[in-house]
A and B are shown apart, each in its own frame.
Chain A
Amino acid sequence: MNIFRLAGDMTHLLSILVLLLKIYATKSCSGISRKTQELYAIVFMARYLDLFTDFISVYNTFMKLIFIASSLAIVWCMRFHPVVRRSYDRELDTFRYFFLVGASFALALVWHDKFTLQEVFWAFSIYLEAVAILPQLVLLQRSGNVDNLTGQYVFFLGAYRAFYILNWIYRYMTEPRFTRWIAGISGVVQTALYADFFYYYFISWKNNSKLKLPA
C-alpha cells in the first residue's frame, strides 16, 4: 500500500462520512442524488463478490464491508426514513440511470480480464463507478446552489479518484509488470467528469464564497 492509495481510500471514506453527517445532522438529503447512491450500492455489491472467494487483508475486507453497508444505509434513508425522504429532490433527480447500468454491463460482457461471472461483474462495477456520479452532477447543476456538506462530499469523491490515478502511476513505476487497463482507463474517464465541478469548487474556495454552478 503506497501513500497515494491510502490517501485515496481515506478521502473515499471521508466522503461517505461527510454524506452520513449531512443526512444525520440536518435530517435532510436535499442536493443528494438517490440515483447516484443506488448506483454506488450496485457497484460495491457487484465488485466485492470476491469477499466470498478471496482474502487479501483485514483492511481490505473491512473497507469492502464498510462501503457496501454505508451505501445501502444511505439508499435506505433516502427511500424509507420518515423525515429524510421528504427532502429528496425527486423532480431534479431524473437522470435515466438504467441506461448507464445497461451500457456498463454490455461493455463488461465485451471487455473483461476473464469470461467468468466474478470477472465480468468486476469489470461491470468499474465501468458503472466511472459514470455513477453523473446523476449527482446533473442534480447539482440543476439546483444551482450547493450546500457546504454536499459540495465537500463531491469534492472528497473527486479527490479519491485523483489519488487513485497517482497510485497507479506510482505502482506502474515501482512494480514490475503493473498494468491495469480496465481500471486505469475507466479511472481517468471518471476523474475527468469531476473537472468542471473542481473548477467551480476552487473558485468558490478562493473567493471564500458559496459554491454555485452555472446553469
Chain B
Amino acid sequence: LKVKNVKDEL
C-alpha cells in the first residue's frame, strides 16, 4: 500500500 506524501504542512 503506497500512500501519497501529501504536503499538508506549511
Q: Which A positions have Cβ atoms within 8 angstroms of B?
A: 5, 9, 12, 50, 54, 56, 60, 63-64, 67, 113, 122, 164, 167, 177, 180, 183
Contacts and interface: CB of A to CB of B under 8 A. Distances in A.
Contacts, number: 20
Contacts of B3: 177
Interface of B: 3, 5-10
Contacts of A67: 10
B10 to A, nearest CB: 5
B7 A12 contact: no
Among B3, B6, B8, B9, chain A packs the most CB atoms within 10 A around the CB of: B9
B7 A64 contact: no
B4 to A, nearest CB: 10
Nearest to B6: A56
A5 B5 contact: no
B1 to A, nearest CB: 8
A183 B8 CA distance: 12
Nearest to B2: A177
A113 B10 contact: no
A12 B10 CA distance: 10
A163 to B, nearest CB: 11
A54 B5 CA distance: 13
Contacts of A122: 7
Nearest to A114: B5
B10 A183 contact: no
Nearest to B10: A63
B6 to A, nearest CB: 7
A9 to B, nearest CB: 6
B9 to A, nearest CB: 7
B8 to A, nearest CB: 5
A193 B6 CA distance: 27
Contacts of B6: 56
Contacts of B10: 9, 12, 60, 63-64, 67
Contacts of A164: 9
Give me the 4 closest cross-chain CB pairs, A-B, nearest first.
A56-B8, A63-B10, A177-B3, A9-B10
